[in-house]
Amino acid sequence: MDLKLLATDAGNHLALGVGRRIGKPLTAVHHKRCSDGEYVPQIMENIRDTHTVLVCPTCPPSDHNLMDALILGDAIVRAAPARFTMVFPYWGYNRQDRKDKPRVPLTAKLASDMVSMLCPNNVLLFDVHSEATLGYFAREVKVDHLYSSAVSVEHLRALVQPPFVVAGADKSAGPRSAYYARLLGQDRYVLFDKSRDREGKLLSANSRVIGDVAGCDVILVDDLVDTGGTVNLATNTALQAGARNVYLFATHGVLSGSATAALESGRIRKVIVTDSIYHDPATLTPKIEVLSIAGFLAEAIMRIHEGRSLSELIP
């Protein structure tokens, strides 16, 4: 069965890298934007009876890119491929995974329901914020979830000098911190405790580190970096507690608003993200380093295409 690779506008840069690694050019799509803003894509090649793979991160603007993925996905379904796989390098709205206040939406479930309506054979997700939401998709959709540790661990190992310690930027990051600590050969990890006011603003006076960082390099690990506020607060707390240097690895560089400037002016030494979300290199600073996941996703896509296990890609 032939494999066809398509991408939304948001996924085009990453999909080009995937295509180079699997030896497949991107299938031509005419991305038409009407004067009223409506999106009308047209697939310019025959994809009938193929395995069609759509790379479609739902990064900011999340509503725009989610609709693009759904609309282009609908065009694919109506073109009658034999198999259809949707690849979400970044799965937006995943932080809205619980109804923790009265009269609020469960948007992570809603987004999963909308994708499930397209009836893709496979959905491939990459380092989601909430793994519990993997069960939000319809039972008929085969969902695979991969981790960025496969591309980040060796890079992090070469970056820091012992002694070092892995850290989570808040208390909810315990499982991720423990996982990275094990992969990096550490028998402990630390966490940072933070609090917010009613408007959600971080209270720096209440930040503290749970564990010992004195004399150590600190590697903060997280699934994403958004505004940079939590990262800068954890960095300041660590340095006040005697840490030598602080580094951050976050899979998804959301970098909304003035995040790039905030990180550049902060005391963190290096910020490492992946290209799950594309940023023009001209908008980034030397402090921000980008690791490519194109080769990793290419291997995962080929394993799905050939019916092979993805477990070997999980450290």
| Residue in 182, 115, 103, 180 with CA at minimum distance from that of residue 142 | 115
Catalytic residue among 194, 201, 270, 287: 194
Distance CA 304, CA 310 (A): 8
- C-alpha dihedral over 9, 22, 73, 135, to 10 degrees? -110
3-state helix vs strand vs coil in the chain, percent to 5: 35, 25, 40
**Beta-sheet pairing, 39-43 with 29-33:** antiparallel
Q: What is the pLDDT of residue 199?
A: 52
d(C-alpha 314, C-alpha 109), whole Å: 25
- In angstroms, the CA 169 to CA 172 distance is 8
Please confirm, yes or no, whether 194 is among the known catalytic residues: yes
pLDDT of residue 198: 55
The pLDDT of residue 202: 58
**Rounded to whole angstroms, how far apart are CA atoms 46 and 30?**
13
The Cα diameter of the chain in Å comes to: 61
pTM (two decimals): 0.95
Kindly state the helix (H) or strand (E) to which residue 274 belongs, with its residue range: strand 270-274
Provide the residue-wise pLDDT of the chain in tens; the chain has 315 residues: 999 999 999 999 999 999 999 999 999 999 999 999 999 999 999 999 999 999 999 999 999 999 999 999 999 999 999 999 999 999 999 999 999 889 999 999 999 999 999 999 999 999 999 999 999 999 999 999 999 999 999 999 999 989 999 999 887 889 999 999 999 999 999 999 866 555 556 555 567 899 999 999 999 999 999 999 999 999 999 999 999 999 999 999 999 999 999 999 999 999 999 999 999 999 999 999 999 999 999 999 999 999 999 999 998
